[in-house]
Every structure is written in structure tokens, then in C-alpha cells.
Structure 1
């Protein structure tokens, strides 16, 4: 298992208690994301070459990307608006309002510039639309050879399996908060590989990690069996094949 360094992430803005708790709980995951983005940016020549990055689902990581990449990086975001407490004014160059669940309908697609890196952290599982549709749209956001970094929970993690053995549903109820409905669907590493390849991406790396506190026994089991770890990060590279929307299929 890749060792993670516990990093305290400071925030200048006044956060609500729930937001502070979320930031503290996910800080090791955010540190991992930041390291991955810096690694991919270096492959594109940053800081000598300006980097263009799109963050889908702007959140705390967006601000960290800006701090790390500096003012000369172009950072755009896509999705719903987020509170200024989380993504302060001036962090993002352009925010594009778009619901990825609309991706089956090509006439709703929006025009965006292409980027060197697109980050999609903890978004996959919140979408009820088939990945075939939204991955074909996300390809249009990337330059040929650009990287897509996806972070999402592991649908078959140890905790999920133990929950099933106890006779419980391992997934929470879909929430009544329309702007934050929770998880519709989680994925395995093999599912993500399949979706990526069908959308004409090259799979460059797949990493399973644990960023959260766990028991000694659980940690040992997951160290021995990586497929039981809680989080998946997969790096995909856009091929030179032309972008092609998936035709809308009606039952």
C-alpha cells in the first residue's frame, strides 16, 4: 500500500462545522490528489510550460491545485457552483455550469476549451447516467495525450463486503437533498478499466488506497489483499482517436 503523509490543510475562509469536519476527514485523500496532479503536470512540462487543468466538481481540492500550480496555471471547473468558503473567489479562471447527467443529450453539451489534465474526484459515484455517456463528453475536455484522473470509492471494499455478510445494504439511501443526492452507483477497478477502454482512453495506472482510520486487523487484511482497499484512483490518457458522442439509446 502506498504510504500517505498526514498533512494539515489550512483554510483561510471561515468554514461551517460540517465543512471543517469533511476537510479534516479527507485531508490525506486531498494530499494524494495534489501529489498526483503535480506528477501529471510535471509530465506536461510544468512549471516551465503553463498547465491547463479542469476540475469537475469543484471543492477543497480545487483551491489546493491553485495554491500548488500557481497563478500562471489555467484552472477551470465544471459542475454545480460551490460556496466561496470552499473555493474562494479568484481560485478559478472559468466555471462552466453543467450537469453531467445531461451527457446522453448531445444538444445540451457545452463548448469548453481542451485541457492537459481533467480531475474527476469523488464525482463518478454521484451520477446516475451511464459512464459511457459522460466519458465521451469528458474526452472533449482533454487535449490529445491529456490525462483524466478519476477518484472514486471501491464498490467491493472490505467494509462493503462485511456489511453484506451482516445482511445490511452497504450503500446509503439516496438522499432527499436534490443538490447532494449521495451515491447512486459505485464501481470496481475492472469496471472502470472497461468503461475507460470502451471510451478510447488508455489506462495508465490504477491505485487502490486507504486514506481513513481503520482497525489493525482490517489494515493488515487490506495490506495483503489490495482489492479490498477503500479508494480507487485511475489515471487515463486520451488517445488520438476522434471524439465521438455515444448515440442516445431509447428502450
Structure 2
């Protein structure tokens, strides 16, 4: 794959952009398949259409300038590679458990990604030289995993993002149709609320979706932190389920909810950081 694909080039037609996006996704899939890592391959298989949406977002922003991007929760570096392909300078942040994987190290070196090892986001601070440094912070499929009080974390991100910079968030919609029906069923059956015990016992720590948000909750979440945050949220879906597979009830509800739009499975939030109003909240004490 070639870096700086869109830098210093005239605006492309939608058809050309689509062809290049599909070529990039295909090349990334080939690279991932070559690792032979089951987690790497399965995560890409589930999320590759979502990556196409992130690609479109970054492509529009990166057409005429090299963006500085921080990818938080960079995982197997799929979105980091995507951003690098579009000419961005990319810092990839995740826990040491991921950065210790040999194929992740090799991928970072191959694509010129800067690794940032951070094992405790709750104590994140603005690194020296990174004050108002980033044009875009990617925070994809991470928000639902946060188990700590997030005030200091977002204050640090606020300090790292340039005035007028963006935070791009993707996260599941708590009001998806399958989730809504499952919660109602659990309540009526007196089983409880929230994630099930089986998920707790069968997931790696932080693998659980401890808190999924609605579109309204995401807006409220950032409004409580600072008036500097301007939040726009869209509901969308990137999956279509084959009804011949297992869990037919879930798949049927998901397809119906995704078509209806309001009950779509996923949320995309773009937070613009317009600095000037300051910070509203301090972290609570024990």
C-alpha cells in the first residue's frame, strides 16, 4: 500500500474514491490473512465495512493537508494503517498486551506508525510536546468498554486536540432493536439488567460492553464535560445478517432495526473541539 495516496492530488470522483477504498480494504485483508492470527482475522471480518466508513471520514479531511491523528485503542492497528494510507501522521495508543504481539509490532514498523503504550487510560495526561497537537482523535469501539471515571481522560484528550479539531467515535447503539427487546425480555422475566453473567465469565477483562450509550446519552455525556464540545451523532449499520445462520431471532431483529434507522445497531459521533469555554467537571474523590 502506498502512503500519501490523496496528498497533492486533485479531487477525485466518487467512483474513483470507491475503487481506491475497495482496493485498500482488499490489500489490508490480504496482509491480515497472512498473519494467520485468528483474532486479527476475525476482528477484520466483522468490522471491515465499518473501516470503510472511517476511511470515507478521514479521506474528506485529509485531501488537502497531512493530518496528525491519535488512534486510541488501536488494537490490531487496522484503523491506524487506514489513516496512514491516507497520508496522516499516526500515533497508535493501546495497552501493552496488544503492543507485545509480534505481528502488531511488525505492522507498526511496516507502516511507520508511532506506538504509544498506555495501560491505564484513567491516569492519562498530556505528553510533553503533544499540547494541541492532533487534528483528529479516533476512538472507535472503545467507549462501551470504559470502566473508570472518564473525566480526567477526556480532559487530557481535550488538551491534546487542536482548537477546531475532531474526535471521531463509533460505538454500539444501546437502543438497537435486539438490545431493546433483550432488555425488555430480561425485565419481564425478572432475570436482571445489563450484560449477562455468561459474558462476564467468558470475556477477557475489558472485553465486556459495560455501558452502551444512546445517541442522546452521548450528547449529554460531552455537554456535561465542557461547552467546548459540539457533538453530532448519527445512527447507522454496517452489517446485514444471514437469516439461515444461528440466533435467527437476533438476526431478524437486527436486520429490521437497521432498516428502520432509529433502532440501528451503531452510532457514529463526531465531536468538534472549539476551545474557549473551559472545563466544567472535576473527578470525584473516593
8 A contact 1:174–1:184 mirrored in 2: no
Residue deviations 1:41-81 (CA, integer Å, cap 9, x gap): 34xxx3xx2211110011321112212x23xx311122314
- CA positional deviation for 1:146: 0.4
TM-score (norm 2): 0.71
8 A contact 1:136–1:245 mirrored in 2: no
8 A contact 1:34–1:64 mirrored in 2: yes
1:61 is matched with which residue?
79
8 A contact 2:126–2:160 mirrored in 1: no
Instruction: Show the 5 A alignment for 1:135-174.
Output: 135-167=154-186, 171-172=195-196, 173-174=199-200
2:215 is matched with which residue?
189
In the alignment, structure 1 residue 202 sits paired with structure 2 residue 230: yes
The runs of 5 or more residues in structure 2 that have no matched partner are 1-17, 242-250
**Residues matched between the structures, number:** 234
1:76 is matched with which residue?
91
With over 3 angstroms needed to count, the CA separation of the structure-2 counterparts of 1:86 and 1:231, relative to structure 1, is: farther
1:94 is matched with which residue?
114
The runs of 5 or more residues in structure 1 that have no matched partner are none
With over 3 angstroms needed to count, the CA separation of the structure-2 counterparts of 1:127 and 1:32, relative to structure 1, is: same
8 A contact 2:170–2:269 mirrored in 1: yes
Q: Name the Cα RMSD after superposition.
A: 2.9
In the alignment, structure 1 residue 223 sits paired with structure 2 residue 264: no
Q: Decide which moves more: 94-103 or 109-118.
A: 94-103
With over 3 angstroms needed to count, the CA separation of the structure-2 counterparts of 1:192 and 1:133, relative to structure 1, is: farther
- CA positional deviation for 1:134: 2.3
Greater RCO (CA < 8 Å, at least 6 residues apart)? 1
Higher helix proportion: 2
